[in-house]
Amino acid sequence: MTDEWSAATLDLDAYLGRIGYTGPAAALEPSEPTLAALHRAHLAAIPFENLDIMLGRGVKVDLDAIQAKLVRARRGGYCYEHGQLFGAALERLGFSVDRLLARVGPDDQPIRPRTHLTLRVRAGSGTWLADVGFGSSPPGPLSLQSGGPQELDGWVYELARDDAGGTIKLRELQAGDWVTLYRAEDQRVYPPDVVMSNHFTATYPESWFTWQPIVVRREPGAIRSVLGRTYTVTRPGHVKERRELTDAEFVAALSDVFGLYFTEQELATLTAAATGPVAG
């Protein structure tokens, strides 16, 4: 069997240390509790962010570059980085993993390109959607065999398939209304597909990721995010607290809230990038 996603090159011990797991990897079985524990630990340790795009460096999505950045340099990343890193770790631990590409956005909007990478994982007797790279990712894996709403830490989600069974739709209950977050297409994904999707996401002028800093940290009871200059805390039920940050507050949030550290020159560049238009 070929290792098309290069999972064998992952420094598994370093990854487990990065997410705060200190026991021996051999003690981790490919079970549902292990999947849930790793999912939560990954979200708690590694933020979602696009800051290398703001710094003019772009984003590389080969596994060597991903682990150099997210594991050794203790940075964050976005879906293509998170998904490949988590998927490689799961495969090394004996899980069966499928990478899926998804179209982000509510049902009532025009069709968008496939710009999100998520994972389908077989663990124990079940199959799960495990997504650590959406920013506002569910706090744990979601069962693909459940026929109704699933609650995690007060957040409520639902997975549904279209009539033909070719699309997996992730919906979240937000302020009493069901909102589709994305539609993952149930077809095989290859590494070059991720390279193409990443190129679009990181370079297309209308991509959200090309014109504003985006940083998100997922906690069990809150999602803390910075989009441009706007700092938002979202709690279960989609209750939001929002305010605009000063230069000093923006710089402080990167380290104090998100655990990200940069040089003075990098911070100046990121602060200047945060003065642009802010998404509502």
Q: pLDDT tens-digit profile of 71-129?
A: 999 999 999 999 999 999 999 999 999 999 999 998 888 889 999 999 999 998 899 99
Helix axes 264-273, 247-256, angle to 10 degrees: 120
* Catalytic residue chosen out of the listed positions 42, 52, 79, 82: 79
> What pTM, to 2 d.p., does this model score?
0.95
| 116 given a catalytic annotation | yes
Nearest to residue 102, comparing CAs of 37, 55, 159?
A: 159
Give the per-residue pLDDT at 36. Answer: 96
Active-site residue flag, 131: yes
Which of 62, 131, 162, 177 does the annotation list as catalytic?
Answer: 131
Mean pLDDT in residue range 44-49? 98
Selected residue with higher pLDDT from 165 and 71? 71
- What confidence category does residue 277 fall into, taking pLDDT thresholds of 50, 70 and 90? very low
Edge-to-edge strand list for the sheet holding 48-49: 48-49, 214-218, 223-227, 230-235, 239-244
Catalytic residue (one of 3, 116, 177, 186): 116
- CATH for 9-273? 3.30.2140.20
238 is catalytic: no
Q: Is 84 exposed, middle or buried (0-12, 13-18, 19+ CB in 10 A)?
A: buried
